[in-house]
Structures are given as C-alpha cells and as structure tokens.
Amino acid sequence: MKFQLKRLWFQILTFFSVNLGAIGLRTGFCYPLFYCHACPAATSACPLRAMEKSVYKGSSALDQLLYPILILGFFGTVTGRAICGWACPIGLLQRATSGPARKLKNYSIVKKLGRYRFEPYLRYTKYFMLIGFVFITAAYFGFMFTDICPIGVLTGTIPIIILEPYKFVPSSFFWPAIAIFILFIILIFIIERGWCRYFCPIGAFLAPFNKVSMLHIDVDQEKCVHCNLCAIECPMGIDVANMYRDPECILCGKCVNVCPRDAIAYGRF
Ligand code: SF4
Ligand code: SF4
Ligand code: SF4
C-alpha cells in the first residue's frame, strides 16, 4: 500500500478512535491532538481546556497542568510533530481541503504573503495564541481560548446542536466563536494547512519538540540536486532541501515520497 494511503488510513482510524464516546467508551485521559471534549462522541478531553482550567483566574492546579503537558511532551519527544501529520482530525480535515487550497495557491494570499519577508513571522502567531490566550488571559482575566475556539465550534457545538439540541446552552461568546469559525473555514480553503501554520496552539506546543525528537526528517545534502520538488509538495510550505529539524514539519513524508534522488528520509534518534 502506498505510503500516503497508509497515512490516510491511519488518520481515519484515529478519527474513529477519538469518537469512541459514541459507543460509551470514555477514557478520562487528554488527547495529544485537537478535538473538543464537548463533542457528544468524544473519547477523551481537550488538552488546551485542561491547561486553561489549571491556571484559570490564578488557580494553581498543577496536577491538571502537568497531565496534558506530559502527554503532549511524551508524543513530542518521541515523534515530534507527527501527531499533526498522522493523527489529528483537524489535520485530516485540512488534508481534505488542501486540493482547493493548492489550486488557489497562485492567486491566494499566501503567494502574496510569500513575497514579503514577514510571512515566516506570521507563523509565530500560534505561539502567541498558546501563551497569550491559553495561559495569560485565562489566568488573569478568565477569558479562555476555548471560549472562541473554532475547533470547539466544529467538533463540539455543531455536533451538540445536531445530536443533542436539548443540551445546548449558548455561551456569551457564541456569536464571536461562530464568526471565527467562518474565518477558519475560509482560511483552510485558501491556504493549505493555514490553521496549523499560523494559529494552532497545540501545533505551537509540539513544534519545538521537532528540534529534539527521536523521529524526524533528514535531508542528505550530498544527494540533493535542488530540484525543489519537495518544497512544492510540502503541505506546510517548508523549504525542505535547506531545512534542519524544522519546527513546522509535521512528518507527513510527502517530501520523502516525491524526492527523485532519495535524499530525504525519516531519521531516528
Ligand atoms: S497544528 Fe493543531 S490542528 Fe493542525 S494537525 Fe497539529 S494539532 Fe491538529
Ligand atoms: S526533491 Fe530531493 S533532490 Fe529535489 S530539492 Fe528536494 S531533497 Fe533535493
Ligand atoms: S518537510 Fe516533508 S515531512 Fe515535513 S511537512 Fe513538509 S513534506 Fe511533510
């Protein structure tokens, strides 16, 4: 079976495994990926929600904070950001929308942004989301990222409205969250993996682990002829031939498959 097809099957299987609550299986653990615990079918809890609640308005529930950090840290240390490329349902969703995003590439904002040097700096927005909205505003103002989270609308609010409407109670952030959700949908159709590149706090948490993770992507400079096929194929817009343990890499392996010189491979340790 072709490698990218295997990855697709793995993503689909993970999607079902994060929804085992539909058959009554709830683990009490946190996901190491992005999915809303409010989904009626959720198997586990959202790690961002657990982090926010642990610092909410000055609370110092360190056990609650350690829990998602250890789970994300474990996967980050072993596989880097492979959770994004292989397991996260929001990654799967963006894989599905990558076709239109690629077609629009020549006309889209990303091409215009790419002409300017600040595009790489936009990618730091996700770190701001993690530190600013998940920790600081939750701790000092009680305003949490998950109050306006578009993934929460997609995987929590919408399934509740459809499956259990009698349980739905709109929060005071309902309409801002809907507006952000609409922007999220537009974003993932016009920029390939736009949410993962610029905004996802879980991606921000996992990204630095690429620098030290046991599993990573290696490029053999001696074999490379700089044909640029890998960069064209890369869903995260990385200059693959010149990268070294790039924090943006989601270890999807598309560059490995496309390189005509076999210059790219998964490295271990
Ligand atoms: S960056 Fe976030 S949304 Fe994207 S695949 Fe990773 S965890 Fe999921
Ligand atoms: S596809 Fe292979 S040969 Fe071409 S630029 Fe990338 S690493 Fe180099
Ligand atoms: S560098 Fe290769 S493995 Fe990493 S995101 Fe790009 S295509 Fe996927």
| Beta carbon of 88 within 6 Å of any ligand 1 atom | yes
Query: What pLDDT is stored for residue 207 in this prediction?
Result: 98
Determine the atom of ligand 3 nearest the C-alpha atom of 254.
Answer: 7
Query: What pLDDT is stored for residue 96 in this prediction?
Result: 98
| Beta carbon of 252 within 6 Å of any ligand 1 atom | no
Cα(112) to ligand 2 centroid in Å equals 25
- HSE of 192 in the Cβ direction (CA atoms, 13 Å)? 19
Cα(129) to ligand 1 centroid in Å equals 13
Cα(203) to ligand 1 centroid in Å equals 5
End-to-end Cα separation, the chain, in angstroms: 26
**Domains of the chain from N-terminus onward:** 3-93+125-168+201-213 (no CATH), 215-269 (3.30.70.20)
Query: What pLDDT is stored for residue 255 in this prediction?
Result: 98
Enumerate residue ranges in the chain where pLDDT < 50. none
Query: What pLDDT is stored for residue 109 in this prediction?
Result: 63
**Gap between the Cα atoms of 77 and 213, Å rounded:** 5
Please report where in the chains the tokens 């600081």 appear, as a residue: 136
Determine the atom of ligand 3 nearest the C-alpha atom of 230.
Answer: 7
**Gap between the Cα atoms of 136 and 124, Å rounded:** 17
| Beta carbon of 259 within 6 Å of any ligand 2 atom | yes
Query: What pLDDT is stored for residue 116 in this prediction?
Result: 62
**Gap between the Cα atoms of 243 and 218, Å rounded:** 8
